[in-house]
Amino acid sequence: MIADLPADIHDLKGFLSSAEGEALYRHALQASTRGPVLEIGSYCGKSTIYLGLACRANDSTVFALDHHRGSEEHQPGEFFHDPELYDTGEALFDSFREFRRNIRAAGLDETVVPVVAGSAAAARHWHTPLSMLFIDGGHSLDAALADYRCWSGHLLRGGILAIHDLFEDAHAGGQAPIAIYRMALESGLFEAVERADSLGVLRRL
């Protein structure tokens, strides 16, 4: 059981299964004793809540990085577009209001630090070592590679790298996340720790 997990967590907008959320929580609970956690791709905050509850238990921090304009698949006319998250006045996708509402309702305003920016821009002057990195941002190959290359070097030795949406079969899902997962393994800098549904968890050696 996860203490203080919102009763409506499964109703929040997002693509994280219960098994994936529980795995994130377990690894963040251990990792965040050593430093902050950074998440790339917060969307409406479902995964952020699992990470945030773990970090709060250790008086640590989650940096929740997302430009909140949606990935390619969230745009109008695409498969995962949600009209409720589309700002008609600005003619732009915007998940930030929903994200803030969910984080506040979970009581995590003092634990979660939103970073509203693109991944590369946020990484440009980043110097804080990370105990855990969760990559769940854009699923194009360029976006996934940028997330991995910009941020994996900030992980402490022994730190956790978690990557969402791993699909061996291209018919089941995009191949960019599993490409960077394999890249991490082939680098010799990471070892596989766990798989939970489409979540892969590695540890930096």
Residues acting as catalytic residues: 139
| Cα distance between residue 156 and residue 31, in whole Å | 10
In the chain, the amino acid numbered 188 is: G
Q: Residue 117's CB: how many other CB atoms inside 10 A? A: 14
Token digits of residue 13 = 């907008």
Name which of 4, 30, 2, 14 is nearest 162 in CA terms.
30
| Contact (Cβ atoms closer than 8 angstroms) between residue 160 and residue 133 | yes
Copy the structure tokens of residue 148: 């991995």
Measure the CA–CA gap between 43 and 71, rounded to whole angstroms: 9
- Report which secondary-structure segment, H or E, holds 159: strand 155-163
